[in-house]
């Protein structure tokens, strides 16, 4: 039990599909994050939520749409993706958004065909 | 802007030996935090060790220790008595800020392989 659970583990979708990634944390944390991990590149922070409010949106294309209905759940809605969006998407949580260590999930391996 | 550089894309070590992974960073801030995360094949990122910049004493967690050189902006990770389970991608990360602009910046990672 990692404390941060991501589903699905793998996802293959066409460019016209709509899908959602789900993240759930059981740690009582107040902050949640989406990161994109591509080969040979540093992790890229996509979105940050603190107490269910979005506090960062790092110039992510609108085809990625986050949703945080409560402090335990985070979604990433996907639509009309491009092949270059294929990557490992990692969810993380922390007690606070300032200096608290991140706890990561196992990620969703996304392939866009 | 903060940057983190890991100059060793891949490293290998024999089981039971010691290995050091290097990390340098660039910042104009004086108070910040440094982390090493490990990502095994299971893909989960796991915090290995953490260092506060205001602390002069190097952090230690069992077989893992850091050599923090603040003036040189260097933060290397030493793994003693390497075990097969240490095989993973290791990421150095840097955190600064007490405002909503705070963020954790990762390096590109070092793939460590422990050989039997």
Model confidence over B43-83: pLDDT tens digits? 888 999 999 988 889 999 999 999 999 999 999 999 999 99
Give pLDDT tens digits for A18-69: 999 999 999 999 999 999 999 878 888 899 898 888 877 678 999 999 999 9
Mutation pick from A99, A105, A106 vs chain B, by most beta carbons of B within 10 Å, is A99
Instruction: Identify the band that residue A104 occupies on the pLDDT scale cut at 50, 70 and 90.
Output: very high
Task: Give the pLDDT confidence score for residue A110 in this predicted structure.
Answer: 96
Instruction: State the nearest Cα–Cα gap between B36 and chain A, in angstroms.
Output: 10
Distance from CA of B115 to the nearest CA of A (A): 23
Say yes or no for a CB contact (<8 Å) between A55 and B103. no
pLDDT surpassing 90 at residue A109:
yes
Would you put residue A51 in left (φ > 0), alpha (ψ -120 to 50) or beta?
left
Q: Which residues, 6 or more positions from A80, have their beta carbon under 8 angstroms from its beta carbon?
A: A15, A16, A63
pLDDT at A54: 83
Supply the mean pLDDT for chain A: 90
Give the residue among A97, A102, A10 at the shortest CA–CA distance from A49. A97
Residue A23 tokens, joined? 């993240």
Torsion angles phi and psi, residue B84, rounded to 5: -55, -35
- Which pLDDT value is given to residue B90? 97
Q: By CB neighbour count within 10 A (0-12 exposed, 13-18 middle, 19+ buried), where does A63 fall? A: middle
| pLDDT band for position B105 (cuts 50, 70, 90) | confident
- Indicate the DSSP class of residue A1: -
Considering all CA atoms of chain B, what is the largest pairwise distance in Å, rounded to the nearest integer?
46
Indicate if the alpha-carbon torsion angle A62, A68, A69, A73 is positive or negative.
Answer: positive
Q: Is A60 on the interface with B (CB under 8 A)?
A: no
Burial category of A74 from C-beta neighbours within 10 Å (exposed 0-12, middle 13-18, buried 19 and up): buried
- Contact indicator for B7, B109 with CB cutoff of 8 Å: no
- Using an 8 Å CB-CB cutoff, list chain A residues near B42: 106
For residue A70, the cross-strand partners are A73
Task: Check CB contact of A62 with chain B, cutoff 8 Å.
Answer: no
What average pLDDT does the structure give for chain B?
Answer: 91
pLDDT at residue B81, as a whole number: 98
């Amino acid at each position: 039990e990692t404390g941060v659970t991501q589903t699905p583990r793998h996802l293959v979708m066409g460019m016209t599909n709509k899908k959602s990634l789900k993240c759930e944390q059981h740690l009582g944390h107040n902050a949640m994050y989406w990161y994109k991990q591509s080969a040979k590149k540093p992790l890229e922070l996509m979105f940050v939520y603190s107490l269910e409010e979005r506090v960062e949106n790092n110039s992510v294309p609108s085809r990625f749409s986050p949703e945080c209905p409560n402090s335990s759940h985070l979604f990433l809605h996907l639509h009309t993706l491009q092949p270059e969006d294929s990557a490992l998407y990692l969810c993380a949580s922390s007690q606070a958004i300032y200096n608290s260590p991140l706890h990561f999930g196992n990620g969703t391996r996304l392939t866009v065909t | 802007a903060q940057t983190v550089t890991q100059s060793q894309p891949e490293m290998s070590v024999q089981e039971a030996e010691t290995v050091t992974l290097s990390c340098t960073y660039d910042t104009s801030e004086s108070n910040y935090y440094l982390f090493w995360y490990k990502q095994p094949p299971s893909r989960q990122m796991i915090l290995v060790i953490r260092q506060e910049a205001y602390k002069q004493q190097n952090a230690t967690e069992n077989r893992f220790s850091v050599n923090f050189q603040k003036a040189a902006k260097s933060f290397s990770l030493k793994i003693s008595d390497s075990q097969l389970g240490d095989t993973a991608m290791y990421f150095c990360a840097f955190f600064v800020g007490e405002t909503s602009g705070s963020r954790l910046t990762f390096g590109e990672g070092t793939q460590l392989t422990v050989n039997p």
